[in-house]
């Protein structure tokens, strides 16, 4: 059974059809790189999976449960339960500026009382260690580099033990010399078999880390496939054109 099953997802902003008819599946342990020109609907697609956008039609099943069934949503509690299976990392980090790094990690689990405070503290320490920021627990976001902020955001997304991580252009706001440290953390997660959807312009990551590449243009999935075939032998003229300009 697919961990994420999206069928015929549709979304408009007023007259603008942003997602025309999107269908795809994500299996456990997949790392899916989503690429495509700006404005093609990549962020809207990702945001709709965690209920940050309300969609107009289609079906989304997460781990066998309906987040959206033919355009209809379940109860608020059910939506929370389902979206709680996913963590999201944004282009602009979205850290709480008034909270220390440690508190950024601990605030949601403490509020949700998922574990005892001691266990939450231990988990935060472990995750900061994992992203190489054990020494920054008491720092505030303003005093971190972009790469450090994004690594904190990844650690924070992992605090609630998600089954799936969604990344929306996690390195696009970073100076080029800082992208590597973030991509490294993401690559480590992939090697630990974290299921991930990564919207990215990093073609190297798509080629080397993803097991599937999905190309979106104008609110549609134009082409998808295993990276080697996708990059070496793209079928659709729009994919060929995009790769010519972006490789
Ligand atoms: P991408 O992430 O691929 O760049 P987006 O999903 O952000 O694309 O946007 C797709 C289209 O939807 C764009 O034309 C964008 O301007 C439009 N759009 C996104 N969010 C909104 C919104 N809240 N209101 C109106 N238009 C929006
Ligand atoms: Mg976007």
**Distance from residue 7's CA to the centre of ligand 1 (Å):** 20
Atom of ligand 1 nearest to the CA of 38: 4
Atom 27 in ligand 1: residue holding the nearest Cα: 13
What is the mean predicted confidence (pLDDT) over 89-106? Answer: 98
Q: What was the pLDDT predicted at 247?
A: 85
> With pLDDT > 90 as the criterion, what percentage of the chain qualifies?
99
Q: Which of 18, 20, 199, 217 to mutate to test the pocket of ligand 1 (most atoms within 8 A of CB)?
A: 18
Q: Which of the four pLDDT bands, split at 50, 70 and 90, describes residue 96?
A: very high
Q: How far is the CA of 200 from the centre of ligand 2 (A)?
A: 9
What whole-number distance in Å separates Cα of residue 71 and Cα of residue 56?
Answer: 6
- Residue 74 to residue 69: CA distance in whole angstroms: 8
Across the range 2-6, mean pLDDT stands at 98
Q: What is the pTM of this model?
A: 0.97
Identify whether the C-beta of residue 157 lies closer than 8 Å to the C-beta of residue 105.
Answer: no
Q: What is the pLDDT of residue 4?
A: 98
- Ligand 1 environment, Cβ below 6 A: 13, 16, 18, 36, 38-44
Average of per-residue pLDDT across 87-94: 97
Average pLDDT over residues 185-214: 98
Which residue CA neighbors atom 18 of ligand 1 most closely? 13
- With a pLDDT cut of 70, the percent of the chain lying above it is 100
What angle do helix axes 117-130 and 101-112 make, rounded to 10 degrees? 140
Look at residue 1 in the predicted model and tell me its pLDDT: 87
Pocket-testing residue among 9, 14, 41, ligand 1, by greatest number of atoms within 8 A of Cβ: 41
Smallest CA-to-CA distance from 5 within 74, 53, 63 is with: 63
CA 8 to chain centre: 20
Question: Distance between CA 169 and CA 34 in Å, rounded?
Answer: 10
**Which ligand has the minimum distance to the alpha carbon of residue 38?**
1
Residue 90 pLDDT greater than 90, yes or no: yes
**What is the average pLDDT across 193-222?**
98
Query: For the residues 88-116, what does the mean pLDDT come to?
Result: 96
Which residues are CB-neighbours of 2 under 8 A, at least 6 positions away? 25, 26, 27, 61
* Structure confidence by residue, pLDDT tens digits, 226-240: 999 999 999 999 999
For residues 144-151, average pLDDT: 98
Q: What is the pLDDT of residues 31-89, one digit of tens each?
A: 999 999 999 999 999 999 999 999 999 999 999 999 999 999 999 999 999 999 999 99
- Return the pLDDT at 114: 87
């Amino acid at each position: 059974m697919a961990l994420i099953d999206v069928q015929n997802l549709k979304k408009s902003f007023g007259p603008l059809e942003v997602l025309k008819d999107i269908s795809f599946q994500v299996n456990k342990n997949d790392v899916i790189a989503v690429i495509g020109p700006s404005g093609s609907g990549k962020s809207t697609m990702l945001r709709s999976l965690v209920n940050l956008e309300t969609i107009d039609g289609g079906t989304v099943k997460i781990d066998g449960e309906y987040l959206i069934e033919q355009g209809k949503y379940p109860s608020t509690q059910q939506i929370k339960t389902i979206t709680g299976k996913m963590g999201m990392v944004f282009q602009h980090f979205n850290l709480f500026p008034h909270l220390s790094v440690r508190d950024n990690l601990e605030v949601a689990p403490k509020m949700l009382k998922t574990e005892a405070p001691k266990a939450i503290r231990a988990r935060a320490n472990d995750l900061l260690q994992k992203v190489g920021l054990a020494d920054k627990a008491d720092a505030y976001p303003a005093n971190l580099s972009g790469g450090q902020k994004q690594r904190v955001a990844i650690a924070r997304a992992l605090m609630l033990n998600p089954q799936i991580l969604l990344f929306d252009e996690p390195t696009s706001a970073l100076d080029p010399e800082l992208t590597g440290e973030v991509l490294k953390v993401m690559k480590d997660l992939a090697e630990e078999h974290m299921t991930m959807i990564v919207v990215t312009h990093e073609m190297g990551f798509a080629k080397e880390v993803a097991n599937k590449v999905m190309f979106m243009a104008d609110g549609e999935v134009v082409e998808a496939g295993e990276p080697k075939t996708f990059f070496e032998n793209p079928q659709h003229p729009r994919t060929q054109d995009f790769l010519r300009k972006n490789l």
